[in-house]
Structure 1
Amino acid sequence: MRSWREVWRALKSPVGRRAEGDRPVAEPVPLPAGLPVIPPEGTDEAGPRPPAAETPPSAAEAEAGGASREERLEEEIRELRAEASRLREALADQAAARSRMEEEVRSLADHDPLTGLASSRRFHDRLHVALIHAQRYKQKLAVVQLGLDHFSGLNDRLGRSLGDDLLKSVAVALESTVRQGDTIARLGGDVFTILLPGVKREEDVTVIADKLRLALRNPFSIGGHDLLITASLGIALFPEDGPDTEALIERASVAMKWVKKEGGDAWAVHAPRSRHLATQREERESALKRALLQKELTLFYQPVVDCDTGAIVGVEALLRWPKREELVRAADVVSLADVSGLAVPLGLWTLRAACTQGRAWHDAGHKDLAVAVNVSGKQLVHPSLVRLVRRVLEETRLPPECLELEISEAEIGRNPERAIERLSEVKRLGLRLALDDFGVGDSRLRHLYRYPVDTLKIDGSVIAEAATNRDQEAVVMAAVALARQRKLRIVAEGVETEAQRVLLVRWQCDRMQGNLCGPPASAADTEKLLLRQLKAARAVAEEDLGRTRRLL
C-alpha cells in the first residue's frame, strides 16, 4: 500500500488533466480510507483561491535590482579570479615540490646520505670518465680503498649513533686531505674509496696514502669520548692493476684486506713494483724506530750570533741520524717520522736531549745561552704538548727563559686559530716562541699581530735573494719594520757571505744564523766554540778591569 506522500505526488502530476487535444483526463486516484485530505496548492476548504494581482515594480526597484545583479556579477567575477589565482599558486607549489623531490632524488643518487660524500654510483661514473681520459693521454691513475681498523667493535661498544658521528668526522678529515680534483666516496660501512687521477709517479700515490692515514691520527671528540683510530689502505694503479673500474676497485680491496690481515695502520699497493717501494718505505720506518729505541740519533747545534758584536747568543738544535756512514739531515728524518707516526715521540726525544745539553752548558757558565728546538705540525696539534714540555723542563731543570721553540709559519697557517690557542698555552710556561721560515710561500705580515711569538726568523731563501731582488728586499724590510713595532727579535737564517751580513746590519736585524757564523756541529765541537768565546770574554773583562785599576 502506498503512503500518503506518494498519493499526493500522483495527484499533483499532470495525469488526470487534459494536456493537449481531445485526450481524456484520467480519473483521480482514490484515497485510502482514513487518510486526511490535503487541499491542492492554491485552494482551501472553500474552493480555489483567485490569483493575486501582480504589481509591476517601480523604476527605483528596477534600478536597484539591476544594480544588485551587476554587483553579484562583479562579486562572482572576483571570486572566479581569486579561485584562478589560488589554482595558479597551487600549480606553482606543486611544480616546486616536484622539482625539490627530483633534486633530492638526484642528490640521494649522487651522495652518501650519512656523510655527504660521493655515492657508489657517482664514484663509478667518475672513475669511468677518468679511465677514458687516462687511456687517451697515456696517464696513470690510482684507486685507494680505506677501511677503519676495528670499527665494528667500537661501533658495538659506543652504539650506532656515535659510530655514525665518527664516520662523519672521518669523512671531513679525509676530504680536507685529498687534492682538488680527487673524488672520495663512501661505499658502505666504514669503507671509503678515493680516486686519484693524473698520477705522475707511483711514489706520489704513496705520499698521498700516508697523508690519508695520518689525517686520522689526531683524536676525534665524539659524544664526550676522545677516540683514536687507525686505517688500512689498499692501492690499485692503472694500467698495472687492471683496465676497468671493476678490476681496479677489486684489487684495491684485496690490497686493503691484506693490510688488515697484517695488523692494519698501513698501506699496500697491489702492483708488484709498488710493493717493492712499499717494502723499502717500511724498512726505513722500522730502521728509524730502532734508531729511536737504541739511541742512535744525535743532535747537532748551529750558532746564532749577534749581528753587531758577532758573539754567540744561542744555538739551534738540529736532528741527525748517523746511518751507514752517512748523516741523514733533519728534514729527511722529520718527514719520515711524520709518515710513520713517530713525530711526537721523536720530538719528545729531541726536546729532552736539547734541554739536557742546554742545562749542562748553563752549569758550565754560559748562563745566557738560549737553545732553540723545532716543533713539528704533529707535535703542535697533539693534546699533550704543554704537559710534555712542562715535564721536560722540570726533569732537566733548564730555566724556561733559556728555551725557545720554533714553529714553521706554514704549520701555523694550516689551522691558525687552533695553533694560536696552543702556542698561548705553551708560552705561559715562561719560554720563548719563534716563527720559523718566514717569507716562504704565502706569508702574511698582518698575521704577525696575532701570533704570540717573541722572535721572527726570516728564511734563508729570502735572505739569499734580497741582495739582488728588490721585491725580496721589500719583504725583508717590511717584516723588520713590523717586527720592530711588535718588539720582536729578528733573526736572519742562511747567512753565507759578509755582504749579506752588512745588509742585515743596515736592515737592523738583531741576529743571524748560517755558515758564515758556523755550520751545524756536534755538542763537543759547539762547546769548544762556546769555551773559546767565554775565555775571550773573560780576557776582555780582565783587561778592562786592569785598565780601570791603572787609571785609579
Structure 2
Amino acid sequence: MYILIVDDDLVDRKLIKKMLISDGAQLHDITEVTCVLDGFQAIEKTYFDVILLDYNMPKEDGIEMLIEMRAKPKLGNTAIIMISSSENSSVAIECIEAGAQDFLPKGDITRSSLNKALIYAKKRFEAEQRMHDSYLAVKHMAERDQLTGLSNRYHFEEVLKVMIANNKRTKNCVALLALDLDNFKNINDTLGHNVGDEILVQTVTRINNCLRRDEGFARLGGDEFAVIIGGICNINQIGMIANRILAKVSEPFVYNGITINCSVSIGSAVYPNDAIESHELLKCADIAMYRSKQSGKGKISFYKAQYQYEFSRRVDIQNSIKHNLENKSFRLFYQPVFCSKTQRISGVEALIRWPDTEISYTPDEFIPIAEECRLIEPLGEWIISTALQQLSDWQQNFQIPLTLSINISPVQLQKSTLLTYLLTTIEKSNVKSSNVILEITETAFMEDSKEVIDILTTLSNNGFRIALDDFGMGYSSISHLMSYPIDIVKLDKSIQPLDDNNDKRLKIIEGLSLMLKALDFSVVAEGIETPTQHALCNTLGIDYLQGFLFARPMPAHEISQLLKKEK
C-alpha cells in the first residue's frame, strides 16, 4: 500500500512509520513530508492509497489540505485518515464531515488500530468513490440532452444565471441567441423521426463549428436551441456569429442519398440592455425568434420592446382561439355569389368571424396564428361542419341548387384526414360533394408538393370542385392552372380596374379573362364595388360576381331572407 504521512512532528512520524513497517502482514511504500505544501507536491508526483494527515501543523493545518483535496474532482483520488494529538470528539466530527474516512487520536494509535484504520479507510473511500461516480453519472444525465450531448434546459438556465452574475461584476454584456429550426415538423412527418434526429445531430455539429469553446450551447427541447455569448463589446459580434450559423445550417443536409433543406430562425437578446434576469432574457430572445419566423424564417431578429406587445397580443389571440373553439362561439358569415346571366344567387362563401366580444380580431390576424399553432385543424373542421349543415338547411327549405365555398388552409391540405372529414360530414349533412367548392390560395402550391397534388386530385375525384382564390398575374399562377385539378378561378380584386381609366389594368383583366375562358375555367370576379366594374365584367363575360356592390358578408338568417325573395 502506498502511504503518505503529512506531519511536522518527527517523533510522531517515526513512531507511525515503525508501526507500519513492523506489520508483517502487508508491505507498505511510505513517503514522509512535514507540511501541507510538500504534501500537495508529493501527491502531484505519486499516487497514494492512503494519506495520514496531521490535523494541526504550524504553517497550514491538515484540515485545510483535506478540504482542498475533497474539492477536487473524484474526491482527490485518495483515502485520508486524520491524526491529532487532540482527543476532542468535535475535532473528529469536523474531520469526518470535511471528507476524511477516519480519525485517530495519536495517543490511541497502535499497530493493530493503525492497520485496521488503513484497511477500513481504503474500503470506505472506494465505496464513497463508487457512490460519487454514480452521482456524477446521474447528474450528467439530468443536465444533458441524450440525443445531442448538449446541456438541457435546466442546466442551461443554471449556466445562464452564473454567466449573468459573473458579468454583473465585470460589467460586460451577455448575448443570448434563441434558435428554432424552420419547418422541422415536416421532416419528422414526411421522413420519420430517425431522419429528424440525424438532422438535429448534424445541426448541432454545424452550430458548434461556428462557436467559441467558452460559449454555452444547449438544446431546450424538440428543435429549439440556445447559445450564450459572453464578453460582448459590440452588437456586430452577435450578428457575425448568428450569420455564420444561418449560413451553415442552410446548407443542404444529405441523409441516405436524400437531400434535405432546412433553415433556422434566430432571436437575440442582450443583458443588461433588454433584461437583467436570466428568465426574462430567455423570454426576450424567444420573442425575437418568433419575430424572425414571422418575417419569413431563416433570419435573425434583435429584440425590441415593441415585440413584447406583439408577442403578448399573439398569445392572447392564441388563447382566445382555444377558448372560442371550446365554447363554439366563433361565427360564420356568408357572402353571396351571383350568376352574371341570371343575376340570382348561385352560391355563398363561408367566412369565419370572431365572436361579438369587446375585443375583436380580423381573420387576417387570427387565421395565420391558428395555422402556426395548429389550431387551424379543429377550427377548419368547425367551419366545415357548421357551413355544410347550414347549406343542407337552405337546400331543404328553399329547394335551390345552392353551392357553398369553403376556404381551405394550406395546413389543412397537408393532413390526410381532410378528405375523410369532408366525406363523413357531407354524408351526415345530406349534401352532395358537387355542391361544395373548396377554395385554395396559391400559398398551398409554393413547394409544388406531390402530396398537395395528390390530395387535391383525390378531392376532385370525389366530386368536390376546386377553386383557385386570389388569382394574380404571375407566371406561377398560370402554371398552377395546368398542374392542379382546378375548376374555378377567382380573380384577385387587386388586379381589377377601378374607376380610374387605367389602360394597363384593363388590358390585364381582359387578357386573363380571355385566357381563362379559352381554358374552360369558370371565372368569379370578387371585390366588385362599383357599377363600372360590374359593367366591365358583363362585357368580358365573367361567369360569377361577388362583392359589396351586390351584398356584404352576412349572418345565415339574412341569407335566408334573400333566398326567400328569390323563390
**Normalized against structure 1, the TM-score is what?**
0.52
Structure 2 residue corresponding to 1:339, chosen from 368, 372, 385: 372
| Shift in CA distance, 254/372, structure 1 to aligned 2, threshold 3 Å | closer
| Shift in CA distance, 251/329, structure 1 to aligned 2, threshold 3 Å | closer
Matched, 1:289 2:322: yes
| Cα distance between partner residues in 2 of 1:169 and 1:381 | 27
Matched, 1:314 2:347: yes
Post-superposition shift, 1:302? 0.6
Q: 2:293 — aligned with what?
A: none
| Shift in CA distance, 142/380, structure 1 to aligned 2, threshold 3 Å | farther
Q: 2:551 — aligned with what?
A: 518
- Alignment partner of 2:553: what SS? coil
Post-superposition shift, 1:320? 0.7
Deviation digits for residues 224-262 of structure 1 (CA, Å, limit 9, x no counterpart): xxxxxxxx999433587469xxx999986677899xxxx
Q: 1:334-373 alignment to 2 at 5 Å? A: 334-373=367-406
Do the aligned residues in 1 keep the contact of 2:391 with 2:404 (CA within 8 Å)? yes
| Cα distance between partner residues in 2 of 1:194 and 1:417 | 37
- Alignment partner of 1:444: what SS? helix
Deviation digits for residues 159-216 of structure 1 (CA, Å, limit 9, x no counterpart): 9x65633537999xxxxxxxxxxxxxx9676654699xxxxxxxxxxxxxxxx9xxxx
Q: 1:17 — aligned with what?
A: none
Do the aligned residues in 1 keep the contact of 2:392 with 2:429 (CA within 8 Å)? yes
| Cα distance between partner residues in 2 of 1:335 and 1:191 | 21
| Cα distance between partner residues in 1 of 2:286 and 2:492 | 45
The one-letter amino acid of 1:409's match is: E
Q: 1:106-185 alignment to 2 at 5 Å? A: 143-146=177-180, 162=195, 164-165=197-198, 167=200
Do the aligned residues in 1 keep the contact of 2:526 with 2:545 (CA within 8 Å)? yes
Q: Which has the higher relative contact order, 1 or 2, with Cα contacts under 8 A spaced 6 or more apart?
A: 1
Do the aligned residues in 2 keep the contact of 1:319 with 1:329 (CA within 8 Å)? no
- Alignment partner of 2:398: what SS? coil
The number of residues matched between the two structures is 332
- Alignment partner of 1:436: what SS? strand
Do the aligned residues in 1 keep the contact of 2:471 with 2:477 (CA within 8 Å)? no
| Cα distance between partner residues in 2 of 1:382 and 1:145 | 27
Matched, 1:237 2:269: yes
The one-letter amino acid of 2:456's match is: L
Q: 2:407 — aligned with what?
A: 374
| Cα distance between partner residues in 1 of 2:398 and 2:202 | 52
Q: 1:193-204 alignment to 2 at 5 Å? A: none
Do the aligned residues in 1 keep the contact of 2:336 with 2:551 (CA within 8 Å)? yes
| Shift in CA distance, 380/162, structure 1 to aligned 2, threshold 3 Å | closer
Q: 1:6-17 alignment to 2 at 5 Å? A: none
Do the aligned residues in 2 keep the contact of 1:299 with 1:354 (CA within 8 Å)? yes
| Cα distance between partner residues in 2 of 1:393 and 1:428 | 15
Matched, 1:428 2:461: yes
Q: Which runs of 5+ in 1 are unaligned?
A: 1-113, 116-140, 172-185, 196-211, 213-221, 224-231, 259-267, 535-552
Do the aligned residues in 2 keep the contact of 1:434 with 1:454 (CA within 8 Å)? yes
Q: 1:242-281 alignment to 2 at 5 Å? A: 274-275=307-308, 277-281=310-314
Deviation digits for residues 357-396 of structure 1 (CA, Å, limit 9, x no counterpart): 0000111134310010001111111232211211221221
| Cα distance between partner residues in 2 of 1:240 and 1:512 | 58
Do the aligned residues in 1 keep the contact of 2:269 with 2:285 (CA within 8 Å)? no
Structure 2 residue corresponding to 1:459, chosen from 480, 492, 499: 492
| Cα distance between partner residues in 2 of 1:309 and 1:467 | 28
- Alignment partner of 2:489: what SS? strand
Q: 1:409 — aligned with what?
A: 442
Do the aligned residues in 1 keep the contact of 2:338 with 2:545 (CA within 8 Å)? yes
Do the aligned residues in 1 keep the contact of 2:436 with 2:465 (CA within 8 Å)? yes
- Alignment partner of 1:373: what SS? strand
| Cα distance between partner residues in 2 of 1:290 and 1:476 | 43
| Cα distance between partner residues in 1 of 2:565 and 2:383 | 26
The one-letter amino acid of 1:237's match is: A
Do the aligned residues in 1 keep the contact of 2:334 with 2:554 (CA within 8 Å)? yes
| Shift in CA distance, 379/467, structure 1 to aligned 2, threshold 3 Å | farther
| Cα distance between partner residues in 2 of 1:444 and 1:147 | 29
Do the aligned residues in 2 keep the contact of 1:252 with 1:270 (CA within 8 Å)? no
- Alignment partner of 2:486: what SS? coil
Matched, 1:450 2:483: yes
- Alignment partner of 2:423: what SS? helix
| Cα distance between partner residues in 1 of 2:551 and 2:176 | 46
Do the aligned residues in 1 keep the contact of 2:437 with 2:466 (CA within 8 Å)? yes
| Cα distance between partner residues in 2 of 1:194 and 1:485 | 57
- Alignment partner of 1:452: what SS? coil
Structure 1 residue corresponding to 2:432, chosen from 396, 399, 417: 399
The one-letter amino acid of 1:362's match is: Q
| Shift in CA distance, 250/515, structure 1 to aligned 2, threshold 3 Å | closer
Deviation digits for residues 297-345 of structure 1 (CA, Å, limit 9, x no counterpart): 1111111001122111011011111243466433333123123321111
| Shift in CA distance, 350/441, structure 1 to aligned 2, threshold 3 Å | farther
Deviation digits for residues 385-415 of structure 1 (CA, Å, limit 9, x no counterpart): 2112112212212111111110012322343
User: Percent of pairs identical after alignment?
Assistant: 26
Q: 1:530 — aligned with what?
A: 563
Deviation digits for residues 273-311 of structure 1 (CA, Å, limit 9, x no counterpart): 754543332222111111111011111111100112211
| Shift in CA distance, 382/346, structure 1 to aligned 2, threshold 3 Å | same
| Shift in CA distance, 518/327, structure 1 to aligned 2, threshold 3 Å | farther
| Cα distance between partner residues in 1 of 2:272 and 2:304 | 6
- Alignment partner of 1:364: what SS? helix
Q: Select the structure of larger CA radius of gyration.
A: 1
| Shift in CA distance, 257/317, structure 1 to aligned 2, threshold 3 Å | closer
Deviation digits for residues 395-438 of structure 1 (CA, Å, limit 9, x no counterpart): 21211111111001232234354422221111122111100000
| Cα distance between partner residues in 1 of 2:545 and 2:176 | 46
| Cα distance between partner residues in 1 of 2:492 and 2:303 | 41
Post-superposition shift, 1:271? 7.3
| Cα distance between partner residues in 2 of 1:524 and 1:283 | 31
- Alignment partner of 2:343: what SS? coil
Matched, 1:472 2:505: yes
The one-letter amino acid of 1:462's match is: I
The one-letter amino acid of 1:453's match is: I
Deviation digits for residues 54-99 of structure 1 (CA, Å, limit 9, x no counterpart): xxxxxxxxxxxxxxxxxxxxxxxxxxxxxxxxxxxxxxxxxxxxxx
| Cα distance between partner residues in 1 of 2:359 and 2:227 | 38
Cα root mean square deviation, aligned? 4.4
Structure 1 residue corresponding to 2:535, chosen from 502, 506, 526: 502
- Alignment partner of 2:549: what SS? coil
Do the aligned residues in 2 keep the contact of 1:143 with 1:249 (CA within 8 Å)? no
Q: Which runs of 5+ in 2 are unaligned?
A: 1-146, 149-174, 205-215, 229-245, 247-254, 257-263, 288-300
**Normalized against structure 2, the TM-score is what?**
0.51
